[in-house]
Amino acid sequence: MTKAWQEQLRLKWDENASFWNSRSQEMWDNGSRKAIVPFFKEHVEPNSKVLDLGCGDGYGSYKLWKEGYEVTGVDLSEEMVKLCQARLSDSQDRLSFQQADMLDLPFQDQQFDALMAINALEWTEVPINALKEISRVVRPGGYLCIGILGPTAAPRVNSYKRLYNEVVIMNTMMPWEFEQLAKEQSFEIVGREKVYKRGVDLKHVGSLPEDMQQALTFMTIFMLKK
Structural domains of the chain, count: 1
- Which residue, among 156, 127, 153, has the nearest Cα to 219 in the 3D structure? 153
Say how far apart CA 185 and CA 180 lie, in whole Å: 9
Range of the structural domain that residue 56 is part of: 2-225
CATH of residue 47's domain is: 3.40.50.150
Give one word for 141, left, alpha or beta, with left for phi > 0 and alpha for psi -120 to 50. Answer: left
Q: Which residues of the chain have pLDDT under 70?
A: 1, 90-91
Q: Count of alpha carbons within 13 Å of 10, Cβ hemisphere only? A: 16
**What H or E segment, with its residue span, contains residue 38?**
helix 36-43
pLDDT value at residue 90: 63
pLDDT value at residue 2: 80
pLDDT value at residue 197: 83
Say how far apart CA 135 and CA 200 lie, in whole Å: 34
pLDDT value at residue 57: 97
What amino acid is encoded at 87 in this protein? R
pLDDT value at residue 207: 83
pLDDT value at residue 130: 96
pLDDT value at residue 163: 95
What percent of the chain has a predicted confidence (pLDDT) above 90? 86
Its pTM stands at 0.94
Parallel/antiparallel/unpaired status of strands 112-118 and 188-196: unpaired
